[in-house]
Amino acid sequence: MVAITNTTSLMFLKDELDTTFHEAEKQLEKWVEDHSQSEAVTACVEAFHSVRGIFQVLELRGAVLMSEEMEMLAQSLEKTDHPDKLSAALSQGIVLMTRYLEYVQLKDRGLPELLISGINEMRRAMGKALIQESHFFAVDLGRERYPEPETPETPRSDLPRLCRRLRHMYQVGLISVLRDKESGTGLKLMNRALTRIDRLCGPVQMGRLWWVARGMLEAMIVDEMPLTPARKNFLGQVDRQIKRVIYEGEGSLDKDVPLLLIKEGLYVVSLCSRSPGIVGELKQAFDLRPGLTDGELQDEITLMSGGGGSVVRTVAEGLKEELGHLKQSLDMAAQGVADNDYNDVADVMAKVASTLAMVNLNKEATQIKERAAKVRAWQGQEVDPESLDFQEMVDDLLVVENAVATLERSFAPRDDVHKEAGNSSISLYQLDDARMAVVGECRSGLSLTKRAVSAFMDNNWDPMHLANLPSILAGVSGGLTFLDLSRAGGVMDACRSYIEQTLLASNAETPTREQMDTLADAVTSLDYYLESMEEQKPIGETVLEVAEESMEELGYPVVRASSL
């Protein structure tokens, strides 16, 4: 931690710093109003040069670099064709620096990482290369990989062909990440692909990058780290290195690994709060000692700059909860468990009507408001839960509930599970719950499949461990049919056929490890497809292409419903 060694000095100097930044802001506004005021630009440059010297004394590395960028940006104001863009970036930089000084004084530590986004905004405005997240991170990059990977059975000459399919798997996950879906499923898919590539390459120079990249992905998954632009860029750079293996062949494996990529990956690993698997290996090998976690870092960034959210989404969630309480009260009243205080029910319905009007569900708002007036008239009466009036009220609430569900869905990615109901008399929420229960059962079947295949490999290819798989996979296929996921069902049928006709055949030959890994690729890809739906962050059907390619490589191409 690089912190202020003399906070008393900062306390005395902060007033001077605040005054300097305030004066620089005034001079910048003066120049924005009249570009002929060259002396205003000169004053800004001198101000930023002055604070840079103070930050050097205070050993605030982030602030030193930030003020240096601000000085260069100010010097460029009169030389650019886009002065508005530069002046806006400079103005934002002044605000950020003011907040940063308040943060340092409050927390008594420097954390230069907090200024990286601000520094990059100014560098972006000037068309300069961005600095990495690991810019202020120090580590000995000369450490060797330990433990060393095993020498693979697969010939090096087969790598380009095998890596082509695995790169597709990696890219499917990468596309999900680049589209800001922030799905852990995409990261898991990428990690799976890199694990296979690492195993196929074995102890080569390029293996250090696969090792570090796998550790970074694992760290991001276990800590649910945000996908920052720098991290997305890192993952894209790894894809380019996989491409080298495909097009340059085995000669690329022993070339030097880009050290900046190694450093960036290790920085993310160092932020992981836990040490599972490869993350633990990397922390030990590179002596990455416990420090600030990524969660703590994001909290500090939020503390300094603030955050936001979706008002409409919050309203939709509140309506869902309100309707849930209302239905529960009516259910209890219908069973005679609670007093029939329909006045309270009418009040809640009127409140719901007002909220619906706020989010432009005017038709439903009018409908429930009129129903509330009728319900209020029930006070003191015995209302039969089987009566037409009571059933009409329930129908009105169902209409409102489905309208709210549709509103909530409009703020979530579309997938193949959360579909519209063919029958308007069915609750979308209940239908979603039923569908997600089936997704969960399908995933349980896939989990059993992966364990069975693993046991088959670990026990000298004993087919007894696969005996139950055909019936398990038939159940998964049935669930996928219920969900109307025909393409996923085709993958499952191909897997079942391969296991029955190749692995469990009376004259079955012992499969290779590569074949079993390819089968596992198909099953895992399908599992990730379903997992992304559970998380309501769908990765899309492109992941099924990976599964289809895997089954085709095993000689069991997937038959799509459209081709029947």
Distances (CA, A) of 263 to 174, 267, 297, 315, 414: 20, 6, 18, 43, 37
Look-up: residue for tokens 């398990």? Answer: 472
For 543-552, letters b (16+ CB in 10 Å) and e give: bbbbbbbbbe
Q: What is the mean pLDDT of the chain?
A: 86
pLDDT the model gives residue 367: 87
pLDDT the model gives residue 544: 93
Residue 149 neighbours by CB distance under 10 Å = 16
pLDDT the model gives residue 563: 39
Q: Which range (148-157, 298-307, 317-326, 545-554) has the least confidence? A: 298-307
Give the span between the Cα atoms of 134 and 212, in whole angstroms: 14
Contact predicate 369/397, CB 8 Å: no
Look-up: residue for tokens 């022993």? Answer: 254
pLDDT, mean of residues 259-286: 95
Q: How confident is the model at residue 474 (pLDDT cuts 50, 70, 90)?
A: very high
Three-class SS state of 82? coil
Give the span between the Cα atoms of 482 and 441, in whole angstroms: 12
Residue 412 neighbours by CB distance under 10 Å = 12
Q: How confident is the model at residue 309 (pLDDT cuts 50, 70, 90)?
A: very low
Q: Decide if pLDDT at 340 tops 80.
A: no
Higher pLDDT, 179 or 562: 179
Q: Which range (246-250, 386-390, 503-507) has the least confidence? A: 386-390
Residue 358 neighbours by CB distance under 10 Å = 12
pTM for this predicted structure: 0.77
Give the span between the Cα atoms of 409 and 426, in whole angstroms: 16
pLDDT the model gives residue 312: 61
pLDDT the model gives residue 422: 53
Q: What are phi and psi of 112, to 5 degrees?
A: -60, -20
Q: Decide if pLDDT at 532 tops 80.
A: yes
Give the span between the Cα atoms of 334 and 420, in whole angstroms: 29
pLDDT the model gives residue 418: 62
Amino acid at 382: E
Contact predicate 131/119, CB 8 Å: yes
